[in-house]
């Protein structure tokens, strides 16, 4: 006799901070009856400036917490955590499905007209062996210009989505892509779609801009078997819950969301 799924079962989603909300937004649309739990590790953001060892340790601690709360599927809604930690997570919990977030090199190759692709990422993602392997495996004859973008995530976390300083920073990071003549650019961080108009303005109207959030959410949907659970959204943060709740209400318009504090070593 088959056991019915527990009504407490959830999909756990995590990111270094607010960037993964772009994936969570897609998940809410695709799975309106699911129980979702999002953890923003804002006290340790951005991951892009941290060592691979630190990123793995944070990812393991967060995943342990999400499993304790009932997660039966984990979405790593962070390119940097995927690059440096998802293999360790899969090795530690081999029976648990994980969905990672990686730059869509294959879709970019299919979209480019001139074979010049740009990738905007955090410094840690830009330097990762996983990204190099991804490019080697899928880029073919296309040239991929990888640009690390220090400072951008910090400003987004602070709620700075359209200042003169941020526009100048984005323009500076886009300059190598413009100089290389890319016609297709990838947003290689889940934070970056939150300021998509700034990237578009800096790259120009002739550059096609791609990101991956919908594909990640669809992959999670494919792995999730709906059960008797009631829809719910739980948001937790290792940082200031009041500050994050204000960010969620202002940027996403989710005024019904409660945000709670979570902390764990390391």
Lowest mean pLDDT among 3-7, 191-195, 242-246: 3-7
Query: Considering the domain boundaries, does residue 146 fall inside one?
Result: yes
Confidence band, pLDDT 50/70/90 cuts, at residue 8: confident
> According to the annotation, is 190 in a ligand binding site?
yes
**Average pLDDT over the chain, rounded to an integer:** 94
Q: Within a 10 A sphere around the Cβ of 8, how many other Cβ atoms?
A: 12
Residue 47 annotated as lining a ligand binding site: yes
**Confidence category of residue 24, pLDDT binned at 50, 70, 90:** very high
CATH number, domain with residue 61? 3.40.50.1860
Catalytic (active site) residue 246: no
Strands 184-188 and 143-148 come out as unpaired
Is 174 a catalytic site residue?
Answer: no
* Domain annotation covers residue 170: yes
Burial state string for 147-180 with b = 16 or more CB within 10 A and e = fewer than 16: bbbebbbbbbbeeeeeeeebeebbeebbeebbee
Same domain, 50 and 110: no
Residues 41 and 91 in one domain: yes
Region 5-19: mean pLDDT is 86
16 is in an annotated binding site: yes
Angle, CA 37 vertex, CA 239 and CA 46 arms, to 5°: 35
Sheet of 10-15: strand order equals: 98-99, 71-76, 10-15, 35-40, 232-237, 259-261
Assess whether pLDDT exceeds 80 at residue 5.
no
pLDDT at 64: 97
The pTM of this model reads: 0.91
Number of domains in the chain: 2
How is residue 86 written in tokens?
């998802």
* Furthest CA-CA distance within the chain: 63
Sign of CA dihedral 81, 84, 85, 86: positive
191 is in an annotated binding site: yes
User: pLDDT for 149-176, tens place per residue?
Assistant: 999 999 999 999 999 999 999 999 999 9
For 139, the domain range is 105-211
Q: Which member of 78, 149, 174, 246 is catalytic? A: 78
> Within this chain, do residues 240 and 144 fall inside the same structural domain, yes or no?
no
Let me know how long the chain is. Answer: 266
Q: Is residue 47 located within the same domain as residue 82?
A: yes
And the tokens for 25?
């937004």
CB atoms within 10 A of CB 242: 11
What is the reported pLDDT for 7? 58
pLDDT digits (tens, 9 = 90+) for 65-92: 999 999 999 999 999 999 999 999 999 9
Q: What is the strand order of the sheet 143-148 is part of?
A: 143-148, 116-121, 184-188, 208-210
Find the catalytic residue in 149, 189, 246, 255.
Answer: 189
Residue 15 marked ligand-binding? yes
pLDDT at residue 227, rounded to an integer = 79
């Amino acid at each position: 006799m088959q056991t019915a799924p527990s009504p407490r079962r959830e999909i756990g989603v995590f990111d270094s901070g607010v960037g993964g909300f772009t994936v969570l937004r897609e998940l809410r649309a695709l799975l309106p009856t699911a129980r979702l739990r999002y953890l923003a590790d804002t006290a340790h953001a951005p991951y892009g400036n941290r060592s691979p060892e630190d990123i793995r340790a944070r990812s393991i601690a967060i995943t342990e917490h999400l499993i304790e709360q009932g997660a039966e599927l984990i979405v790593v809604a962070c390119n940097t955590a995927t690059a440096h930690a998802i293999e360790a997570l899969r090795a530690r919990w081999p029976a648990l499905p994980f969905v990672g977030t990686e730059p869509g090199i294959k879709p970019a190759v299919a979209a480019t007209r001139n074979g010049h692709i740009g990738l905007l990422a955090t410094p840690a993602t830009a330097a990762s062996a996983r990204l190099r392997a991804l490019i080697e495996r899928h880029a073919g004859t296309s040239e991929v210009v990888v640009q690390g973008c220090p400072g951008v995530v910090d400003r987004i976390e602070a709620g700075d989505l359209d200042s003169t300083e941020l526009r100048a920073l984005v323009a500076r990071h886009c300059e190598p892509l413009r100089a290389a003549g890319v016609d297709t650019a990838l947003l290689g961080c889940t934070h970056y779609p939150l300021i998509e108009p700034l990237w578009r303005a800096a790259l120009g109207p002739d550059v096609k801009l791609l990101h991956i959030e919908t594909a990640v959410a669809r992959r999670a949907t494919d792995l999730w078997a709906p059960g008797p659970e009631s829809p719910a959204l739980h948001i937790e943060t290792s940082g200031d819950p009041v500050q994050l709740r204000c960010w969620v209400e202002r940027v996403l318009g989710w005024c019904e969301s409660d945000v709670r504090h979570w902390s764990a070593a390391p």
